[in-house]
Amino acid sequence: MPLPEHPQADNEQLRQVLAALQPEQWRQSLDRSGVHTAARITEETRVQIGQLLKDLSRGLDVLNLPFRKALQELLNYLAGKSFDSLESKQAVAKEIQEIISRLGLRVACPKEGCGLPAIIRCAAAGNSKQGVFQFDHSSSSGRRTTHMGSSTLPRLTLVPIPPDRRRIPTAS
């Protein structure tokens, strides 16, 4: 399957992100604001360091974008496919889950009316020994929920990982 084509703007963005990864770029910028090896970090210079970290974080999003697009294309291509065995479905679900986690993504739960960011897996369920794709996520009230998908690979849409409330410290 060919990878999706990227408009020229994306390539230019990629070039800028890669250029910004060169340490000379941020060293000069820090030097100009007086952040030397021996200097203490003041409130003012901390803001600048924070800005550099934000830029790197944004750059990471830009670098991830071509992978995200390619993966979405592949998932579209695989939608509705059936599999020989439970094991092969489980392997595919695991492989999809591994890459979406690395990209900081989830799949939208395909159950009608749900769409919550979910983790995909496949397990035998009820009288389906061949297994069904299942989607684990928190419900809107925060409870763990599993929604059953289909025996064939459902159409999957990539979505961002929701912020984990437990990991966000309360403002002090």
- Residues in contact with Zn ion by CB under 5 A are 109, 111, 114, 116, 147
Q: Identify the residue whose tokens are 């939208």.
A: 108
Instruction: Choose between 59 and 117: whose C-beta lies nearer to Zn ion.
Output: 117
Least distance in angstroms from the C-beta of 91 to Zn ion: 23
Please give, one letter per residue, the 3-state secondary structure of 21-33: CCHHHHHHHHHHC
Q: Which candidate, 167, 64, 161, places its Cα nearest to that of 117?
A: 161
Least distance in angstroms from the C-beta of 96 to Zn ion: 16
Beta-sheet strands, E only, within the chain = 105-108, 117-125, 128-138, 144-148, 158-160
User: Which residues are CB-contacts of 68 (< 8 A; sequence separation ≥ 6)?
Assistant: 103, 105, 158
Instruction: Choose between 105 and 109: whose C-beta lies nearer to Zn ion.
Output: 109
Least distance in angstroms from the C-beta of 93 to Zn ion: 15
Least distance in angstroms from the C-beta of 160 to Zn ion: 16
Instruction: Choose between 59 and 106: whose C-beta lies nearer to Zn ion.
Output: 106
Instruction: Choose between 35 and 132: whose C-beta lies nearer to Zn ion.
Output: 132
Instruction: Choose between 71 and 120: whose C-beta lies nearer to Zn ion.
Output: 120
Sign of CA dihedral 168, 99, 157, 67: positive
Least distance in angstroms from the C-beta of 136 to Zn ion: 9
Two tokens, residue 139? 């419900």
Q: Give backbone dihedrals phi and psi of 18, rounded to 5 degrees, phi first.
A: -65, -40
